[in-house]
Amino acid sequence: MGYPHNVLANDEQVVLHRHPHWKRLIGAVVVLVLASAVAAFAAAVVNTTDWQSTAKNVLFIVIGAIWLIVVGWLTVWPFLNWWTTHFVITDRRVMYRHGVLTRAGIDIPLARINSVEFRHGLSDRLLRTGTLIIESASQDPLEFHDIPRVERVHSLLYHEVFDTLGSEESPS
């Protein structure tokens, strides 16, 4: 899903658009597999009983409803959160938007960025992800977690900031 271009200025160009790293979805996938296995096992146990078909159908409905609630809450909702979280770098600003039902976001003009850092541990290095830390002129440093290929994003953002500052400060 591309970032909605209607939030960009007329001649603003997207340099980079990322969702959080897929590692945020590992727990959701594990829950999906385990919940499905437990529901299938429970349905198989119910199916082997010699109860009346009405009782079996009621139990199948209960198992299905519990499965839907668990999967919806612990699998679908995290996926929607991941899908609706955007980290965008344009030629003018850094934008971060997140939220499914209620949206929140922040914009940082490139000209106001003082420093750009990244941090990642061993597991993040193996998965090629990390935390990007942006310090702007008027705020405490902002941390953006689980940015895919954080070193590349750090370098790209640093060059965009340098190019922006260089073009504004260079004598014409």
Residues 43 and 63: beta-carbon distance below 8 Å: yes
d(CA 105, CA 12): 18
pLDDT digits (tens, 9 = 90+) for 16-34: 999 999 999 999 999 999 9
d(CA 62, CA 122): 43
d(CA 27, CA 76): 11
One-letter amino acid at 167 equals S
Sheet of 14-18, strands arranged across: 14-18, 86-90, 93-98, 104-109
d(CA 163, CA 11): 17
pTM exceeding 0.85: no
The low-confidence residues of the chain, meaning pLDDT below 70, are: 1-5, 164-172
pLDDT at 166: 62
pLDDT at 81: 95
Burial class (CB in 10 A: 0-12, 13-18, 19+), 101: exposed
pLDDT at 2: 54
pLDDT at 171: 41
Q: What would the 3-class secondary structure string for the chain be?
A: CCCCHHHCCCCCCEEEEECCCHHHHHHHHHHHHHHHHHHHHHHHHHHHCCCCHHHHHHHHHHHHHHHHHHHHHHHHHHHHHHHCCEEEEECCEEEEEECCCCCEEEEEEHHHEEEEEEECCHHHHHHCEEEEEEEECCCCCEEEEEEECHHHHHHHHHHHHHHHHHHHHCCC
